C-alpha cells in the first residue's frame, strides 16, 4: 500500500566506488552537476566532522515518527547511508544517541534526517556522519506509517534507493546511480584544475583575464 510499505532495494552503488568520493569536496561534485541539485542549506552536519559517502537506504516517514527508521536500521548493511524524508518537521527528534550507537555497531556510513535529532552533544562528540535540519529534546512517536526503499525528495533533490549520497561540512548531495562513475571522473578533473589554480595564485601566475572577458560579453558599462 502506498505510504505504508517496505520494498527491496534493487540496486546499490558499489562501496569501493563510493569511497573514492570521500576525499572530494561535495562543492566540486555539485559544480560538476551544473549546481542544479542540493538537499538544502537546512541540512547541517551534526557530528564531529567526518565525510560521508555510501548507497542510500531511503525512508519516508510521517513527521515526528521513527518506526520506519528503526526498521531501516534492522535492514541496513555496512556502508549504507540512511536517508530520511520526514518533511523537515522539527517538532520531534527522530534519532538520538541510542540509534546512532546502533548504527555505529552495524557499520553504516551515516544518517541524513530531514527533520530533527536529539542528544546533540553526544552526536557532535562522535564521528558517525549525521546530517539533520535541527535539534529538539522532544522524542519521537513509533506508530508509522511510512516507506522504505521508495524514491524520496529533500529540498527538491530526488533520492532513489541505492543512489550515492555524499556529505561534508558544506552539506549533502545525491549522485544518481547511473551517473556515479562519470561524476567521479569529472570531479577528479575539476579537483586537479583547482589545485593548479591555487598554486598559480600562490606563485603569482593566476590569469584572471576571464573576468573582463565576461564583463565585455554581458555588455557591462565600465567607467575609465
Is residue 178 annotated as involved in ligand binding? no
Structure letter (DSSP) for residue 138? P
Q: Are the C-beta atoms of 127 and 14 separated by less than 8 Å?
A: no
Task: List, in sequence order, every residue forming a beta bridge with 127; answer none if it has no partner.
Answer: none
Is residue 96 annotated as involved in ligand binding? yes
Is residue 98 annotated as involved in ligand binding? yes
Residue 49: pLDDT band with limits 50, 70, 90? confident
185 to 25, 28, 86: CA distances (angstroms): 13, 12, 33
Is residue 62 annotated as involved in ligand binding? no
182 to 57, 149, 152: CA distances (angstroms): 22, 24, 23
Is residue 36 annotated as involved in ligand binding? no
Element (H, E) at 124: helix 120-125
pLDDT tens, residue by residue, 138-160: 999 999 999 999 999 999 999 99
Spell out the domains of the chain, with CATH numbers in brackets: 5-186 (3.50.30.40)
Cα separation, 106 vs 75, whole angstroms: 10
Whether 1 shows a pLDDT value over 90: the answer reads no
Mean pLDDT of the chain: 96
Is residue 119 annotated as involved in ligand binding? yes
Amino acid at each position: 500500500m502506498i505510504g505504508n510499505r517496505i520494498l527491496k532495494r534493487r540496486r546499490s552503488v558499489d562501496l569501493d566506488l563510493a569511497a573514492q568520493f570521500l576525499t572530494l569536496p561535495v562543492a566540486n561534485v555539485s559544480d560538476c552537476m551544473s549546481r542544479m541539485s542540493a538537499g538544502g542549506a537546512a541540512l547541517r552536519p551534526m557530528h564531529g566532522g567526518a565525510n560521508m559517502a555510501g548507497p542510500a537506504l531511503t525512508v519516508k516517514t510521517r513527521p515526528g515518527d521513527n518506526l520506519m527508521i528503526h526498521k531501516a536500521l534492522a535492514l541496513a548493511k555496512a556502508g549504507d547511508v540512511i536517508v530520511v524524508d520526514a518533511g523537515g518537521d522539527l517538532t520531534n527528534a527522530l534519532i538520538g544517541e541510542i540509534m546512532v550507537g546502533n548504527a555505529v555497531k552495524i557499520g553504516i556510513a551515516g544518517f541524513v534526517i530531514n527533520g530533527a535529532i536529539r542528544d546533540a552533544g553526544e552526536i557532535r562528540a562522535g564521528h558517525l556522519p549525521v546530517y539533520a535540519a535541527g535539534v529538539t529534546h522532544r522524542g519521537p512517536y513509533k506508530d508509522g506509517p511510512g516507506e522504505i526503499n521508495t524514491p524520496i525528495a529533500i529540498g527538491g533533490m530526488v533520492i532513489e534507493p541505492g543512489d550515492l549520497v555524499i556529505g561534508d561540512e558544506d552539506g549533502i548531495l545525491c549522485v544518481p546511480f547511473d551517473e556515479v562513475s562519470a561524476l567521479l571522473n569529472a570531479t577528479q578533473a575539476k579537483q586537479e584544475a583547482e589545485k593548479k589554480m591555487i598554486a598559480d595564485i600562490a606563485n603569482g601566475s593566476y590569469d584572471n583575464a576571464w573576468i573582463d572577458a565576461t564583463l565585455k560579453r554581458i555588455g557591462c558599462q565600465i567607467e575609465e
